Amino acid sequence: NIFLSPDISTCLDCQEDFENPHSRFYKYPFVNCTNCGPRFSIILDYPYDRNNTTMNKFPMCPECEKDYKNIFSRRYHAQPISCNNCGPIYKLYDRNLIELAVGNIFDKVSELISEGNIIAVKGIGGYHLILSAKNISAIKKLRERKKRDRKPFALLFRDLELVEEYAHVSLFEEEVLKSKEKPIVLLKKKKNIIDSDYDLISGNSPYYGVMLPYAPVHYLILDKNPILICTSANISGEPIVYREDDLKRIADIADYFFIHNRDIERFVEDSVVRVLQTPFLNEKYQKILYRKSRGYAPSPLFLNRSFNKKIIGLGSDLKSTISILKEDNLIQSQYLGDLADYESYIAYQKTYEDIKKIYDFEPGIYISDLHPSYLSTKFAEEISCGKELRRVQHHKAHIASVCLENNIFEEPVIGIALDGTGYGEDGMIWGGEIFLGSLKEGFERVGHLSYTPFPFGDLAIKAPERTYLSYLFSMDIEDGKFYEILSDNTKLHLSTLEKVVKKSHIFTSSTGRLFDCISYLLGFKKKISYEGEPAIELENLIYRKFNIDNEIDSYLVKISNKEPYIIDVKEILKGVFNDWLGDVESELISLKFHSTLVNVFAEVVSLISSKYKIKRVALSGGAFQNNYLMYNFLKKISQSKLTPIINKYSPPNDACISVGQCALALY
């Protein structure tokens, strides 16, 4: 079996060398040792030797070669070893990629940042766009150029003390921030970095996405600008730029380019993590991955039993990843993006070939999503070449991923999968599902949110007004106040749109679309600027006046009295609509809606658990990135003397689908 190390942040020993004026690594932006530095992003082939990495064009100086061969040195066989005398170097270019002759290049970069410029900085796994987090005009310029209207930006802080000035940091959050992976950690704001009514960095979010420096170059550019916006260098929706040939994609965004001459073999974006306090569980903190990449990928998942199979899971079209499973371990790729973007799809195809080559892996079983129109499904059909190809239902893969990551193979579980979209076995759009089963016996759908007409497809996902209309017309709502909030153009075509909804042959049980409907009602009237935005804004409403552990009476909900247990969303919406008409504050309506979802699903779980004597409950799906839902589902289930289990190796969003696909092919 072949295992590759992820890229690891600069260790404390190398930081000391970096700060030591007598060291040949003094202020060297590529200092590393066997305990830290680039790995996954630079390897060309196996075995992991220097000549098989992108460091192969940098001959070692005598001193580095001496360390490399010294068994007592911590740089013994450190493949990326180099120093100021023999390693890669940085150069500064203007936006026309003409090299600039400057004295101290890092002082110049700091000066340019202070002046409000956007710098494209080549790092470990790709380019970042870096600018001052306190320069309003620079941030506005970045949003306009990057076509990123409202999605929050990540922040790079010089040190933990400065982080604590602007955000609350628990002991476990501090541990994750300072870990060898150094991910972006979502921290609750203490105060705004920019003193203004609207936070240009994170919008309405009560959180900042924060990371500490993980590469030596960060320490150099943070010296005079201690808080930086540090976001992937791309147009929103595209993969991160990591090769010089692709710099034209960001030529209209960056003012300057800060480029080193070590090639990046594969792009690796920053990982994103949230820490959830769970005092009611044995594990008092849960580390939940939102994006799994640098620092975590491609670490293996070790299973407690072995299978004589070679399986590849080709994932979903959103939050795409690829996983391979052989014998007693599984390896998942880094985050690859959304395949609807051409550049992401090209990267996805390249990753497939890369995995086969670097792990010397030839799949025996190919697994794709059930959706016939997914690019990943069509790709699986093209590459399987007569070998066994199985198509797995999306939400079953969600639950299967949790089982595999917790080494549960034959024991039955109750599974709750909540998200926006997944092609169902009946041809409808699922997304609010309850399952019963195991990896060995498979999973059966035993409950779900009631169906609602959904004729508008992707248009409604991007413009929640259409989703709102689908629910209104399906409930025969006549009160004119619910139509007054519609756009003028939509009002002109109401009768036509109603006919479309009434004649729809497509229905959905999606949790995400229910969130979109209520978010629109409570004020989110914009076109969506990033995936999940209406649901995120609906959750954010809670935190304006309430906390994550606030409990409240739920709306009344009807549940069918036999399997499959159908949760009537119309009853939930009646409660929401009545409160809205009664001028109940939006924050309270959002809290009651969230609380209702938790309580009604917990009630169905209790019915199933009592009937089948099953104690484990698996939770997965993009909706469990909602902090309130995850916290209160875990709390409610544990209070019922049941055992909740969640994704630990992969994110609960669609990134885990490739893991679950492999899991469902084991038997």
Q: Which of 663, 15, 651 is nearest to 319 (CA)?
A: 651
pTM for the full model?
A: 0.96
Residue 143 lies in a domain: yes
Q: Which CATH number do you get for residue 75?
A: 3.90.870.30
Instruction: CATH number of the domain at 111, please.
Output: 3.90.870.40
Identify the pLDDT of residue 91: 98
**Average pLDDT for residues 521-538, to the nearest whole number?**
94
Contact 28, 87 (CB under 8 A): yes
pLDDT at res. 526: 86
The predicted pLDDT at position 1 comes to 63
Residue-wise pLDDT for 181-229, tens only, equals 999 999 999 999 998 888 999 999 999 999 999 999 999 999 999 999 9
176 DSSP 8-state letter: H
Beta strand spans in 491-627 (E): 507-508, 565-567, 616-620
Instruction: Please write the tens of the pLDDT for every residue from 360-405.
Output: 999 999 999 999 999 999 999 999 998 999 999 999 999 999 999 9
Tokens 């999940």: give the residue: 532
pLDDT tens column, 15-64: 999 999 999 999 999 999 999 999 999 999 988 999 999 999 999 999 99
Same domain, yes or no: 156 and 68: no
User: 126 and 237: one domain?
Assistant: yes
Residues 24 and 49 in one domain: yes
Share of the chain above pLDDT 70, in %: 100
Q: CA-to-CA distance for 62 and 70, rounded, in angstroms?
A: 12
Question: Residue 45 has what DSSP assignment?
Answer: S
Residue 286 φ/ψ, nearest 5 degrees: -115, 130
**Does some domain include residue 657?**
no
Judge if 498 and 529 occupy the same domain: yes
By the 8 A CB rule, do 522 and 464 touch?
no
Q: What is the pLDDT of residue 394?
A: 98
Q: Are residues 37 and 167 in the same domain?
A: no
80 and 95 together in one domain: no
Give the DSSP letter of residue 299: P
In a domain, 31, yes or no: yes
d(CA 503, CA 619): 34
| 57 and 166 part of one domain | no
Strand 184-188 with 272-277, pairing: parallel
Structural domain of 136: 90-260
How many angstroms separate the CA atoms of 362 and 217, rounded? 39
* pLDDT for res 65: 97
Q: In the listed set 354, 383, 412, which residue is the last one of a domain according to the structure?
A: 383
CA distance linking residue 140 with residue 149, whole number of Å: 9
pLDDT at site 188: 97
The pLDDT score that the predictor gives to residue 510 is 98
* For helices 586-612 and 511-521, angle between their N-to-C axes, nearest 10 degrees: 160
Find all residues with CB under 8 Å of 571, minimum gap 6, and list them. Answer: 555, 556, 557, 558
* Greatest Cα-to-Cα distance within the chain, rounded to the nearest angstrom: 82
Do residues 170 and 49 both lie within one domain?
no
In a domain, 429, yes or no: no
Is 399 part of any domain?
no
Q: At what angle do helices 342-358 and 375-383 cross, to 10 degrees?
A: 40
Tokens read off for 606: 């209790």
For residues 575 and 591, state if they share a domain. Answer: yes
Cα separation, 187 vs 626, whole angstroms: 14
pLDDT beyond 80 at 236: no
CATH code for the domain in which residue 561 is found: 3.30.420.40
**In terms of domains, do 241 and 342 share one?**
no
Q: What is the token pair recorded at 281? A: 């569980």
- Name the residue among 40, 50, 57 with its Cα closest to residue 126: 40
| 277 located within any domain | no
Residues in the chain: 667
- As a whole number of angstroms, the distance between CA 565 and CA 559 comes to 6
CA pair distance 519, 525, nearest whole angstrom? 8
pLDDT tens across 543-598, in order?
999 999 998 999 999 999 999 999 999 999 999 999 999 999 999 999 999 999 99
State pLDDT tens for residues 468-497.
Answer: 999 999 999 999 999 999 999 999 999 999
Phi then psi for 67, rounded to 5 degrees? Answer: -60, -40
Work out the number of other CB atoms within 10 angstroms of the CB of residue 467.
28
Q: What 3-state class would DSSP assign to 442?
A: strand
Residues 51 and 121 in one domain: no
Q: Tell me the two tokens of residue 468.
A: 């709102």
- Same-domain pairing of 65 and 101: no
Structural domains counted in the chain: 4
CA 418 to chain centre: 16
Please spell the DSSP secondary structure of 187-219, one letter per residue: EEBSS-SS-SSSBTTTBT-SEEEEE---SHHHH
What lies within 8 Å, CB to CB, of 405 at 6+ separation is: 301, 647, 648, 649, 650, 659
Closest of 608, 666, 590, 603 to residue 636, by C-alpha: 603
Q: Which residue has the tokens 């040190």?
A: 159
Residue whose token pair is 């501090």: 174
Q: Among 335, 351, 383, which residue terminates a domain?
A: 383
Q: Distance (Å, rounded) from C-alpha 559 to C-alpha 389?
A: 37
The total of other beta-carbon atoms located within 10 Å of residue 223's CB is 13
Q: Looking at 62, 86, 110, which one is the last position of a domain?
A: 86
Give the CA count within 13 Å in the CB-facing half-sphere of 396. 27
Residue 469 and residue 501 in contact, taking contact as beta carbons nearer than 8 Å: yes
The C-alpha atoms of residue 5 and residue 23 are separated, in whole angstroms, by 27
Mean predicted confidence (pLDDT) in 172-180: 98
Distance between CA 336 and CA 152 in Å, rounded? 20
Residue 415 has pLDDT above 70, yes or no: yes
Helix (H), strand (E) at residue 430: strand 429-438
Region of residue 182 (left: phi > 0; alpha: psi -120 to 50; beta: else): left
Taking only the tens place, the pLDDT of each residue in 308-355 is: 999 999 999 999 999 999 999 999 999 999 999 999 999 999 999 999
Kindly state whether residue 654 falls inside one of the protein's structural domains: no
Mean per-residue pLDDT over the chain, rounded: 96
The CATH number that applies at residue 361 is 3.30.420.360
pLDDT digits 0-9 by tens, 494-504: 999 999 999 99
